[in-house]
Amino acid sequence: MLIRYGVRVLTEKETKHEESVQTDNVVLIGRKPVMNYVTACITFFNSGEKHVIVKARGRAICKAVDTVELLRRAFVKDLEIKSINICTEELDRAEGGQSNISSIEIIASKAENNQSQEMK
Amino acid sequence: MLIRYGVRVLTEKETKHEESVQTDNVVLIGRKPVMNYVTACITFFNSGEKHVIVKARGRAICKAVDTVELLRRAFVKDLEIKSINICTEELDRAEGGQSNISSIEIIASKAENNQSQEMK
């Protein structure tokens, strides 16, 4: 599930990056209500995935944290946050020039009893 | 530097928590421009502090990430992010009832050459 942002142009590097992560269980946070993204995460876990990557940029960062916290608090009691990374992405603006935007990546995994967890 | 949010009542537990961290180098993100918080971090580092804790709640979370990223990108080249924690805080509302709010805590440290770094 990849939700793209409004109007913006992806750099070549970034496009490759997004393509490379599409095979993983990525929930990209956009403008929808938090519950939509929580549901997306639950769906991944229910389909047998061991971990989910929640990504967000700019103002959606707080929604990413909300998503993971709501998921942990209300739905997946044994949710474990494997790692949280922040970085800056450079975007080419449609009208020319570049802008820097902060982004966050939260990797959450569901601890399953009696099963070995293999995380990369 | 502690910047309090708008109207809210701190629970006893939370008040103790805030008191306990005031001795550390905490920059609590509020509604001011990002550069104010970046300046606060730089001031801590310039006064000889080895690490700074950037904290934020709710919608200010994205500003916390912006602060650390701007600091790393433009001001402190050797900034190292020691850890990022997210959690949920329960707040008592003034009008009764409780509300949950997500919060983030980013611990950043300045790597200094030829000096041993002692982090707790």
Strand partners, B99: B91
- Give tens-digit pLDDT for A28-66: 999 999 999 999 999 999 998 899 999 999 999 999 999
The band of B37, judged by pLDDT with boundaries at 50, 70 and 90, is very high
* CB A30 within 8 Å of CB A3: yes
Cα gap A52→B7, rounded to integer Å: 35
pLDDT for A79 beyond 70: yes
- Indicate the residue of B59, B69, B106 with minimum beta-carbon distance to A62: B59
| Cβ-nearest to B86 among A84, A85, A100 | A84
Put simply, the answer to whether B73 touches A88 (Cβ < 8 Å) is yes
Burial of A53 (0-12, 13-18, 19+ CB in 10 A): buried
What ipTM, to 2 d.p.? 0.72
User: Can you tell me the distance from the alpha carbon of A84 to that of A67, in angstroms, rounded to the nearest whole number?
Assistant: 14
Which of these ranges, A57-61, B16-20, B105-109, has the smallest mean pLDDT?
A: B16-20
Instruction: Write out the two tokens for B92.
Output: 């008592």
pLDDT digits (tens, 9 = 90+) for A106-120: 999 987 654 444 443
B61/A contact by beta carbon, under 8 A: yes
Chains A & B: contacts with CB separation below 8 Å: 52
**pTM of the full structure:** 0.74
Report pLDDT digits (tens) over B39-48: 999 999 999 8
Split at pLDDT 50, 70, 90, the class of B113 is low
CB A104 within 8 A of CB A83: no
Residue A62 in contact with partner chain B when CB distance is under 8 A: yes
Give the 3-state DSSP-derived string for chain A, with helices as H, strands as E and coil as C. CCCCCCCCECCHHHHHHHHHHCCCCEEECCCCCHHHHHHHHHHHHHCCCCEEEEEEEHHHHHHHHHHHHHHHHHHCCCEEEEEEEEEEEEEECCCCCEEEEEEEEEEEEECCCCCCCCCC
Residues 6+ apart with CB under 8 A from B117: B50, B109, B111
* Structural domains of chain A sorted by starting position, each given as residue range(s) with its CATH number in brackets: 23-111 (3.30.110.20)
**Residue B120 pLDDT > 60:** no
Higher pLDDT, A97 or B6: A97
